[in-house]
Amino acid sequence: DIVMTQSPDSLAVSLGERATINCKSSQSVLYSSNNKNYLAWYQQKPGQPPKLLIYWASTRESGVPDRFSGSGSGTDFTLTISSLQAEDVAVYYCQQYYSTAATFGPGTKVDIK
Partner 1 sequence: QVQLVQSGAEVKKPGASVKVSCKASGYTFTSYGISWVRQAPGQGLEWMGWISAYNGNTNYAQKLQGRVTMTTDTSTSTAYMELRSLRSDDTAVYYCARDKSTVTKWMDVWGQGTTVTVSS
Q: Does 109 bind partner 1 (CB under 8 A)?
A: no
Rounded CA-CA distance 45/71 in Å is: 22
Nearer Cβ to partner 1 (50/72): 50
Distance (Å) of CA 58 to CA 19, 37, 65: 16, 9, 13
Q: Does 49 bind partner 1 (CB under 8 A)?
A: yes
Q: Does 51 bind partner 1 (CB under 8 A)?
A: yes
Rounded CA-CA distance 28/96 in Å is: 10
Surface-to-core class of residue 70, CB atoms within 10 Å of its CB (0-12 exposed, 13-18 middle, 19+ buried)? buried
Which among 11-19, 22-30, 50-58, 70-78 is the span making contact with partner 1, rule CB under 8 A?
Answer: 50-58
Q: Provide the 8-state DSSP code for 29.
A: -
Smallest separation, CB 96 to partner 1 (Å): 10
Rounded CA-CA distance 70/75 in Å is: 13
Residues 12-41 that bind partner 1 (CB under 8 A): 38, 40
Which among 25-33, 66-74, 77-85, 89-97 is the span making contact with partner 1, rule CB under 8 A?
Answer: 89-97
Binding residues for partner 1 (CB under 8 A)? 1, 38, 40, 42, 44, 49-52, 55, 61, 93, 95, 97, 100-107
